[in-house]
Amino acid sequence: LNIAVSNIQAQLVMLKQNEHLLYISSTDQLSKLKNRRALQDFIILENEKLGRYRTRRKFTLQETIAFIDLDNFKYYNDTYGHETGDLLITCFAQLLKQIFRKVDFIARFGGDEFVCVLSDTSCTEGKRAAQRLYQGLEERNYFINDIEAFLHRKLEIPKVKRLGFSMGLCSNYDVEDNANLDIVLANADKALYYSKQHGKGCVSSWAEIKESVSDVEEPPCRTGRADLK
């Protein structure tokens, strides 16, 4: 009996260790959101699920991907230091978790970019979520109070330098292969780049911009668009 108990305890310890390793490998340590690797794994599983629904049930679930990039983030990094930038990443991540649903998959893509995979959601509903996110930022005073508490001093931040975000949206209903979220993610990224080019605080839908422009320019890189901050 003692040997059996010891074996069970050893297995429980190993199980907890494996769970901790999985958490570390799939979680962004700064924001506590899922990381880019976890996002890629999630998209693979979702592609398989969407394909099964389409084949067996003759029905395609609708999913929308929101690609988000913070506006004016570079200003805070350059003016108040990288630790303040880290604080803003943490605060914005918390706000994302408050605004979006538990069924939505939220990840920090890298730098000040975030990706949300919205289940059973259209781009129109994604825009409504963006408005709730803007409202949440305003209610939190654009995290200015958090920065002041962190720096232990009052700040005079110009209105044009308040933290904001731009967003690109794409639904799997807006692409030819609606069981391929990789394409949806790529188009959401293009829609985000379009938003950044056309002014801060914009939300663009791929379904809308692909008809209005003859050639949507490819983003120069998928993270750290310093030229567009």
Backbone angles phi, psi at 225, to 5 degrees: -80, 75
pLDDT of 20: 46
What is the DSSP secondary-structure string of 125-191?
HHHHHHHHHHHHHHHTGGGHHHHHHHHTS-----GGGS-EEEEEEEEGGGSS-TT-HHHHHHHHHHH
pLDDT of 226: 41
H helices of the chain, in order, are: 2-26, 36-56, 73-80, 82-99, 123-139, 144-151, 181-197, 206-212
Superfamily of domain 31-228: Reverse transcriptase/Diguanylate cyclase domain (3.30.70.270)
Contact at 8 Å (CB) between 154 and 46?
no
**The model's pTM:** 0.85
203-205 and 164-171: which strand pairing? parallel
What are the per-10-residue average pLDDT scores of the chain (229 residues)?
Answer: 67 58 75 96 95 80 97 96 97 97 96 97 97 97 97 95 97 94 97 91 93 60 46
pLDDT of 144: 97
pLDDT of 58: 74
